[in-house]
């Protein structure tokens, strides 16, 4: 299992104590012209003032589905830190992996944002949450690299002049995806191919494109998948439209019967997709809705609740829309 990705943003210095402000201002004014030893003392005192202030600043830790890295770390996290005079620490990883770390008390988070109901059910069984609220949704698309040698073929598929699955079956194409055992996006890539096999009446489509469910040649960490596409290290993936939009990567839209975006199609169509991973884990298709919750063992539960309120509020919803997320669907879990 890859380690979670930690990121941090802190609030500006507006909440510094008058003593800390005065000390820093005085030291900065008086440093010029000092001998080296006295300058070092002044800088040491200045650093102490910074450390003392940091110790007084609350920290909110948000564990989130790795595909949300851009909107969390560039938009929502910094905005929250500024509004609440807090430090923001983002922890991005596959939703199931994070849920298991939180449930196993190996990770303490003040707010948890995951995709699909499954990861939240893990925390419910552990007695760590009683409710999770929907905050956004997305859909499955084919995401491809503009640097890929197959880019022209993908453009033709996006325009309807070629079948997207035929491009993915071309010899030498490098398909990337995440581990379906730990990340819903990886599982959803396989479920999308499974639904496509049924929809296009091509029974071997899943095996021809993906191979084994945990094919080591195709598995990458979720936090690196989009950057690999940007760099041209892989040619394509089956992933979330929101993540592709956030990274300005081109996509190919899929039919509603395949894209897992329509809750109304769950019972009659999506529910027909599913498989069992080596080890016995059963994977089933679920609507691509992002849910947020505050774990019972949060270190800063008030900040966690405030972060969830930001996600649900007008400012948070606007930030999500601007990064390519669709409105939330369905009811609270």
pLDDT at 4: 57
Read out DSSP for 55-111?
HHS-EEEEEEEGGGHHIIIIIIHHHHHHHHT-EEEEEEE-HHHHHHHHHTTS---SE
Query: Residue with structure tokens 């479920």?
Result: 191
Q: Which residues pair with 105 in a beta bridge?
A: none
Give pTM, 2 decimals: 0.71
Q: Return the axis-axis angle of helices 314-322 and 301-312, rounded to nearest 10°.
A: 60
Which tens digit of pLDDT belongs to each residue from 191-228? 999 999 999 999 999 999 999 888 999 998 877 888 89
DSSP secondary structure letters along 15-33: G--HHHHHHHHHHHHH-TT
Q: Does the fold of domain 140-284 match that of domain 1-137+290-333?
A: yes
What are the structure tokens assigned to 129, written together?
């949450």
pLDDT of residue 171: 94
Q: How many Cα neighbours within 13 Å face the side chain of 170? A: 18
* pLDDT at residue 35, as a whole number: 52
Take residue 265 and report the two structure tokens written for it: 């199609």
Q: Tokens 């802190």 belong to which residue?
A: 10
Is 105 in contact with 76 (CB distance < 8 Å)?
no
Question: What pLDDT was estimated at residue 180?
Answer: 87
The pLDDT value recorded for residue 24 is 42
Q: Which CATH superfamily is domain 140-284 in?
A: Periplasmic binding protein-like II (3.40.190.10)
CATH number for the domain whose boundaries are 1-137+290-333 = 3.40.190.10
The whole-number pLDDT of residue 287 equals: 83
Q: Can you tell me the distance from the alpha carbon of 168 to that of 189, in angstroms, rounded to the nearest whole number?
A: 13
CB 100 within 8 A of CB 126: no
Every domain of the chain and the residues it spans: 1-137+290-333, 140-284
- Report how far residue 264's alpha carbon sits from residue 251's, in angstroms, rounded to the nearest whole number: 24
Residue spans of the chain under pLDDT 50: 1-3, 9-32, 34, 52-53
């Amino acid at each position: 299992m890859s380690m979670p990705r930690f990121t941090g943003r802190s609030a500006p210095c507006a909440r510094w104590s008058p003593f800390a402000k005065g000390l820093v201002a005085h030291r900065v004014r008086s440093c010029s012209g000092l001998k080296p030893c006295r300058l070092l003392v002044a800088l040491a005192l200045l650093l102490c003032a910074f450390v003392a202030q940091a110790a007084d600043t609350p920290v909110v830790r948000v564990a989130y589905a790795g595909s949300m890295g851009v909107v969390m770390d560039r938009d929502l996290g910094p905005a929250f830190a500024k509004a609440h005079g807090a430090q923001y620490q983002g922890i991005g990883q596959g939703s199931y992996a994070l849920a298991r770390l939180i449930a196993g008390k190996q990770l303490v988070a003040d707010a948890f944002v995951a995709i699909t109901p499954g990861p939240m059910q893990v925390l419910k069984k552990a007695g760590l949450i009683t409710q999770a609220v929907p905050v956004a949704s997305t859909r499955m698309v084919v995401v491809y690299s503009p640097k890929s040698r197959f880019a022209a073929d993908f453009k033709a598929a996006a325009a309807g002049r070629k079948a997207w699955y035929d491009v993915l079956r071309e010899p030498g194409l490098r398909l990337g995806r995440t581990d379906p055992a730990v990340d819903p996006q990886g599982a959803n890539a396989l479920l999308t191919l499974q639904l496509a096999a049924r929809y296009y009446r091509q029974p071997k489509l899943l095996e021809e494109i993906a191979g084994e469910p945990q094919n080591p040649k195709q598995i990458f960490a979720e936090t690196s998948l989009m950057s690999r596409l940007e760099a041209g290290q892989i040619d394509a993936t089956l992933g979330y439209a929101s993540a592709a939009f956030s990274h300005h990567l081109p996509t190919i839209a899929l039919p509603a019967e395949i894209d897992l975006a329509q809750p109304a199609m769950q019972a009659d169509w999506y529910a027909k997709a599913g498989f069992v991973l080596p080890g016995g884990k059963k994977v089933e298709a679920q609507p691509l809705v992002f849910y947020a919750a505050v774990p019972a063992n949060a270190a800063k539960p008030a900040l966690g609740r405030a972060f969830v309120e930001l996600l649900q509020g007008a400012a948070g919803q606007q930030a999500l829309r601007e990064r390519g997320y669709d409105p939330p669907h369905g009811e609270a879990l």
